[in-house]
Structure formats: structure tokens, C-alpha cells
Amino acid sequence: MTKLLILTDIHITEAAQSIIGLDPLARFQEVLSAATRDHPDAAAVLLMGDLTHHGTPSQYARLQSVLAACPLPILLMIGNHDRRAAFRTAFPDAPVTDLGFVQQVVDFPHHRLILLDSHDGGDHPDGFRSGILCPDRLAWLDKALAGCGTRVPVVACHHPPFCVGLPGMDAIRLQNEDALLSRLADHGAYLLFGHIHRTISGTTKGVGWSSFKSPCHQAPIDFVTPDSGLSIDEPGGYGIAVLDRPAQITIHHVDVGLETTTMSDRTSQ
């Protein structure tokens, strides 16, 4: 079985900082530990952007300290809260395109995973910004999709290319959404994204997709308020993409920090 563990929107802060009273580093450690403990046979761990809260070297250093102990390969993406230059300095071995965008292709037996860099390139102190895929990044995507052969494309982009019904987050989605959606639809690709801090799934213009919650803080279900900074304390979690069958993608979501009952406990009752 080919399994991909998915975590997104980690938001590592400075040591003395928290987000709505939560410690993002501690929450990330808890979720990553649970994921790798329960799925040591996973092919890799995908971190889908917003690795840090402000993109500072010290925040990336704190992230590095956790990732150094991870027993599985790590695939890294950046989001609107990251800083591309600081990220590349902290992770010089992370694959990038010829023009320096944090994008890569990973082939599995039946699927091709394509990781995109949707950071708009600006240095925004608050990080609450929409995403963009420039012509160069889209041209790179075209080549990656064209090279899939018999593999099913699975595309990961930090920003969603459509509205999900939460006004604050919809306002900072991918700007050139149709440019991505049309390409995904043409190639029968499945889309993974973060940014929203919620577990959501659906189809848009013929494209199936899944989003994932943060290990730390989540977005409330608020269909009215136009504030992208709304956050609540709910259990963190991670996703599992099962890619072991041709033409099939199965997504699971796991909450961490809740009391659970094991299979042995259930069968003994």
C-alpha cells in the first residue's frame, strides 16, 4: 500500500509566541509523532505550506529541529505565511525549479504527485494574502502533467482555486483560479490544498479535491464574517492519501488529541 501522510498550516512561531493560546510547535510535534507512529510504512510526509507564521530564519530553525527526528522522507511546500528566500536558505536541498520556485514531481507506481508554489512573492508582515501561479509556474505544471503517462496526477497547491463558502478565506484564495482548474480538469487530476484550516472535500468544475486541517488552530464554520484571521481551538490532525490502486485516490482524515478507543477495546466490550 502506498500511503502519503499530509500535514499543512503548521505556523511555527518564535519560542515565546502562541496562536490563540496554542503552541504551534508542540501541536505539530504531537500530530507528526502520531502520524509517523501509526503509519511507519508511509512513503513520505507532505507538508503543504505555511510552515512558519512569519517566515523568519529562527522559525525555520525551530521547524528543522523537529523534522530532523522524523523517520520518514519529508516533502516541503510553502504558503502565504512563508518566505521563499528564507525557506531556501533553511532548506537548501529542497527541490526548486530553474527559476527558484519551490515545486517538484514525485512519482509513485500509479500516481504522479505534483507540488506547486503559490506564494505571491510579496513580503507581507501579516501573511494573510492570496496566491498566484505565474506563467512560468504554469508552464512547469504543463510539462509535469504532460509527463504523467499512465499515472494519475495528484496536484498539491497551498491556496484553493475556488471559494469554499468561508468569506474570509475565500477572499485570499488563488487569484488566477481558472488557469489551474482548467489544467486539472483536462488531465483528470485530483487536487490537495491547505490554507483553509478545515477538513473539506468536494468537486469543482469536474475536479475532485480535499483540504486538510492544521495541527494547531482551525477556521470556524462561519459563512458570514469576512475575516481571514478567525481561529478556534479544535483538535489538530493530518491526512492520509492512499495511492495503491490505478485510477483511485482515497483520502482519510485523522484527528489527534481526542480520547480514542482501540480495536481491541471495542472487540472486548
Position with higher pLDDT, 171 vs 124: 171
pLDDT band at 267; cut points 50, 70, 90: very low
Instruction: Locate 131 and state its grid cell.
Output: 496566491
How many whole angstroms separate alpha carbon 35 and alpha carbon 39? 6
Average pLDDT score over residue span 131-138: 97
pLDDT of residue 186: 97
Instruction: Locate 12 and state its grid cell.
Output: 511555527
Q: Is the pLDDT of residue 93 over 60?
A: yes
For each of the domains in the chain, give its residue range(s) and CATH number, in order of start. Answer: 3-268 (3.60.21.10)
Q: Kindly report the pTM of this predicted structure.
A: 0.94
Ranges assigned E (strand) in the chain: 3-7, 44-48, 74-77, 104-107, 111-115, 152-156, 190-193, 200-204, 207-211, 236-245, 248-256
How many whole angstroms separate alpha carbon 99 and alpha carbon 109? 29
What percent helix, strand, coil does the chain show, rounded to 5?
A: 25, 25, 50
pLDDT of residue 269: 43
Non-local (6+) Cβ contacts of 41 within 8 A are: 1, 3
Instruction: Locate 53 and state its grid cell.
Output: 507564521
pLDDT band at 1; cut points 50, 70, 90: confident
Q: Evaluate whether 239 touches 32 at the Cβ level (below 8 Å).
A: no
Q: Is the pLDDT of residue 262 over 90?
A: no
Backbone angles phi, psi at 267, to 5 degrees: -75, -15
Residue 167's identity, in one-letter code, is P
pLDDT of residue 256: 96
Per the prediction, the chain carries an average pLDDT of: 93
Q: Evaluate whether 174 touches 211 at the Cβ level (below 8 Å).
A: no
Q: Is the pLDDT of residue 24 over 50?
A: yes
Average pLDDT score over residue span 6-27: 96
Average pLDDT score over residue span 51-77: 97
Q: Is the pLDDT of residue 266 over 90?
A: no
Share of the chain above pLDDT 70, in %: 93
pLDDT of residue 257: 84
pLDDT of residue 121: 82
Burial of 146 (0-12, 13-18, 19+ CB in 10 A): exposed
Non-local (6+) Cβ contacts of 238 within 8 A are: 5, 6, 7, 31, 32, 34, 35, 212, 215, 253, 254, 256
